[in-house]
Amino acid sequence: MRNAVESFRPERRNGEAGLAVIHVSVALAAAGMVLLFLMVVAFALPAFLQGGGGGPFSWSWAPGKGEFGILPMVAGSVLMAVLAVVSGWTLGLCLCCWLLAPDRSGKGDVLLRNLVGGMVRVMTAIPTVVYGFAAVFLLTPVIRSGLGGSGFSWLTAAIMLSLLILPTVVLVLQAGLGPRLESVRLAGAAAGLTRLELLWYLVLPSSRSTLISAAVLGFGRAVGDTMLPLMLAGNAPVMPETLLSSLRTLTAHMALVTSNEVGGAAYDSLFMAGLFLLLINGIVSLAIRRMGGRS
Amino acid sequence: MKHSIPFLCFRLLTGFSAALVPTMVCVLMGYLLMRGVPVMGKELLFGSTPPLDAVFGRAPVWDGLWPACVGTFWLVVLTMLLALFPGTGCGIFLAELASPLQKKILGAAVDMLAGMPSIVMGLFGFMLILLLRHTILPDANTGLLLAAGCLALLVLPVLAASTREAMNAVPRSLRLAAAASGFSRSQALFHLFLPAAAKGILGGVVLAVGRAAEDTAVILFTGVVANAGLPAGLFGKFEALSFDIYYVSSQYQNQQELLHGFGAAALLLGISCLLLAIARLLEGSFRRKWQGKA
């Protein structure tokens, strides 16, 4: 049956125009993508090659003094994303296991799990700027009065980022762990193991690539997000000393530089930041392809 | 069975996160809605301008969200006009026509584009304007069309992926029937498979609309401003809901503006959730239609 379909080769007579239209659309899309890559690389290249003092590769950002280093922002992006992934991934993993493993099979229990699962899906639709807005007026005052500092900090932004990446993590894990749990479910039940025990002792140890690709995907989203760090992290272009100090990510840096229109060498740093983001994203998506864990 | 300490911790943690995450989301969004919903109404959209005059553009709206809503609306419409053709075309190509090598390359490119931070698209638009200024168009400036073009790049992978999935979900029996009745490849594609997958593709389009409406980082670079009034044309500056929310959070002067921000945030949240619900409904009915017929 499969062969019959695969060997189905059309005669070249009718509707070739339609296929040509599809090829044109693919060419358009490919041209857009190629232009995007070329443009970002071409604009960043001069700054990349120039090097030297005051260029983008230094630890000091002081446009007034002609210093345009973006290394603090690179570090800021990485630190922010790592903290967000550590908390977001842990929460996501636990939530996913909770969703997959109903302890009791009561009706209320199932309903509750469906409700929470639905909420995770709704979370994918919440705009980041809305998250940011709510956090500015709710979370920052809590952090300010509870832990001190200005409230606009590494910690604040990372908490919101971990909420942002949580649905991604949960959905990837669910797609990976769910079928595997089902396949050992019957044997496990015969051995008297609950679903949660099965997950912990059997499924989790054997699904390393799913676990890693969920984390990597979350990392990619956390690095790429602009609005939450911009609104919540305080944006001081220095290395953070504690969880409560402010930091600036690459994405927030780009938004700030364009809105302030400094021009000249500041734009070079903008293009470099763009290239960095492009490269990080490229590595992330290659890593995920390598593991084949894309949902 | 006697449990190890790590397992007990794990069990505790699952319950803990199951309680924590919904609580946090509910508190955040509940707070937003609590403050945003009461200000919903004519005032929020049109300020002190009579609604009918505002809708027909006879009077400008100074203290309402109307211009931002119109800006977002046109932005989304233009984006979809630009992205629909290449996006769905890519998806169809990937599902039906591509050779394994083409599938691998184009698939990788689409995946990479899907993970690309939205701000990079914005930067791309910004670079495009800089380039035009230095070469053929000295007075090129950012505007609605440019923003829509960059957003189109952003939603293109969403469209491509959902179209590909919808085409792949078309049952094998239909393909066999098409082959057996001597359809040519393009006849089968355009007259059978595409209509069969239409609902699934439409679901993807709605999702893409949601992405385009909520994104802020792209338009930040490509011509959004806080006080533009209604968009002045394809190359004019514009306002957008998502940007208004960001702007209020950083620049609000008084309680009134703050309340407008809450209203705008609640409105955008409502729109996004509505779009998601529509997409899920479409997808659900698509799946039901072909379930068990593969």
Q: B180-201, pLDDT tens digit by residue?
A: 988 888 888 888 888 888 888 9
Q: Is the model's pLDDT at A160 over the cut of 50?
A: yes
- Cβ(B197)–Cβ(B270) below 8 Å: no
pLDDT of residue A105: 66
Whether the CB of B212 is below 8 Å from some CB of chain A: the reply is: no
**Complex ipTM more than 0.90, yes or no:** no
Residue range B223-262, pLDDT digits in tens: 787 777 777 777 888 888 888 888 888 888 888 888 888 9
Q: Where are the alpha helices (DSSP H) in chain A?
A: 2-6, 16-50, 71-100, 107-123, 128-147, 154-190, 195-198, 204-206, 208-224, 227-232, 250-260, 265-291
Q: Which of A227, A79, A72, A243 is nearest to A151 (CA)?
A: A243
Distance CA B98, CA B84 (A): 19
- Mean pLDDT, to the nearest integer, of A113-123? 90
Contacts of A98 in chain B (CB under 8 A): 14-15, 17-18
Q: Which of A286-295, B75-84, B130-139 has the lowest mean pLDDT?
A: A286-295
DSSP string, A158-213: HHHHHHHHHHHHHHHHHHHHHHHHHHHHHHHHHTT--HHHHIIIIIHHH-HHHHHH
**What is the enclosing helix (H) or strand (E) of B246?**
helix B241-251
- Mean pLDDT, to the nearest integer, of A247-274? 81
pLDDT of residue B64: 79
pLDDT of residue A167: 93
Whether the CB of A41 is below 8 Å from some CB of chain B: the reply is: no
Q: Is the model's pLDDT at B42 over the cut of 80?
A: no
**What is the enclosing helix (H) or strand (E) of A61?**
strand A61-62
Interface of B with A in 270-289 (CB under 8 A): 272-273, 275-276, 280
Q: What is the mean pLDDT of chain B?
A: 86
Strand partners of residue B224: B238
Contacts of A259 in chain B (CB under 8 A): 220
- Cβ(A144)–Cβ(A136) below 8 Å: no
Report helix, strand or coil for B187: helix
For chain B, the structural domain boundaries read: 40-290
Q: Which of A294, A130, A292, A94 is nearest to A227 (CA)?
A: A130
pLDDT of residue A7: 45
Chain B residue whose CA is closest to A195? B11
CATH homologous superfamily, domain B40-290:
MetI-like (1.10.3720.10)
pLDDT of residue A12: 46
Contacts of B218 in chain A (CB under 8 A): none
Chain B residue whose CA is closest to A253? B119
pLDDT of residue A223: 92
Q: Is the model's pLDDT at B283 over the cut of 90?
A: no
Query: If phi over 0 gives left and psi between -120 and 50 gives alpha, with beta otherwise, what is residue A182?
Result: alpha
Mutation target among B29, B127, B271 for the A interface, most CBs of A within 10 A: B127
Residue range A127-139, pLDDT digits in tens: 999 999 999 999 9
Please give the interface size between A and B, counted as residue pairs whose CB atoms are below 8 Å apart. Answer: 265
**Residue B4 binned pLDDT confidence (cut-offs 50, 70, 90):** confident
- Cβ(A36)–Cβ(B153) below 8 Å: yes
Q: Which of A222-231, A259-268, B117-126 has the lowest mean pLDDT?
A: A259-268
Sign of CA dihedral B114, B118, B120, B122: positive
Distance CA A38, CA B290 (A): 42
CA distance A202 to chain B (A): 12
**Of the partner residues B24, B115, B124, the one whose CB lies closest to the CB of residue A39:** B124
CA distance A244 to chain B (A): 20
**Cβ contact A90–B13 (<8 Å):** yes
What the block records as the tokens of A11 is 């005669």
What angle, 0 to 180 degrees and rounded to 10, lies between the N-to-C axes of helices A265-291 and A208-224?
Answer: 160
Q: Is the model's pLDDT at B294 over the cut of 70?
A: no
Q: Is the model's pLDDT at A2 over the cut of 90?
A: no
Query: If phi over 0 gives left and psi between -120 and 50 gives alpha, with beta otherwise, what is residue B47?
Result: left
Q: Tell me the domains of chain A and their CATH numbers.
A: 67-291 (1.10.3720.10)
pLDDT of residue A10: 46
CA distance A239 to chain B (A): 22
Whether the CB of B124 is below 8 Å from some CB of chain A: the reply is: yes
Residue range B95-105, pLDDT digits in tens: 888 888 988 88
